[in-house]
Amino acid sequence: MARPIALITGASSGIGLEFARLLAANRYDLVLVARRQDRLTGLAEELKTKYGTTVWAHDLDLTLSETPQRVMQEIEKAGLTIEVLINDAGLGHAGTFATMSWEEISEQVNLNIVALTKLTRLVLPGMLAQKKGKILNVGSIAGFLPGPGMAVYYATKAFVISLSEALWQETRGTGVTVTCLCPGLTRSEFHTVAHMKSGKLGWMTADGVAKIGFDAMVKGKRLVSAGGVNTLVSWGTRFVPRRLLLLIATVRRQ
Ligand X SMILES: NC(=O)c1ccc[n+]([C@@H]2O[C@H](COP(=O)([O-])OP(=O)(O)OC[C@H]3O[C@@H](n4cnc5c(N)ncnc54)[C@H](OP(=O)(O)O)[C@@H]3O)[C@@H](O)[C@H]2O)c1
Residues near ligand X (CB under 6 A): 10-16, 34-36, 39, 61-63, 88-91, 111, 138, 140, 183, 185-186, 188-190, 193, 206
Could you tell me the smallest distance in angstroms from the CB atom of residue 60 to ligand X?
Answer: 6
Could you tell me the smallest distance in angstroms from the CB atom of residue 182 to ligand X?
Answer: 7
Between 3 and 70, name the residue whose CB sits nearer to ligand X. 70
Distance CA 53, CA 71 (A): 19
| DSSP for residue 138 | E
Distance CA 88, CA 147 (A): 20
- Tell me how many degrees the CA angle 196-233-119 measures, rounded to the nearest 5: 70
Cα–Cα nearest to 253, from 95, 62, 26, 103? 95
φ, ψ of residue 129 in degrees (nearest 5): -65, -35
Cα–Cα nearest to 136, from 207, 68, 88? 88
Q: What count of other Cβ atoms lies within 10 Å of the Cβ of residue 78? A: 11
Between 17 and 127, name the residue whose CB sits nearer to ligand X. 17
Could you tell me the smallest distance in angstroms from the CB atom of residue 131 to ligand X?
Answer: 28
Could you tell me the smallest distance in angstroms from the CB atom of residue 213 to ligand X?
Answer: 9
Could you tell me the smallest distance in angstroms from the CB atom of residue 190 to ligand X?
Answer: 3
Q: How many CA atoms does the CB half-sphere of 110 hold within 13 Å?
A: 14
Catalytic residue set:
153, 157
Alpha helix stretches (DSSP H) within the chain: 14-25, 37-51, 67-77, 102-108, 116-130, 151-170, 190-193, 206-219, 228-236, 242-249
Sign (positive or negative) of CA dihedral 194, 9, 13, 233: positive
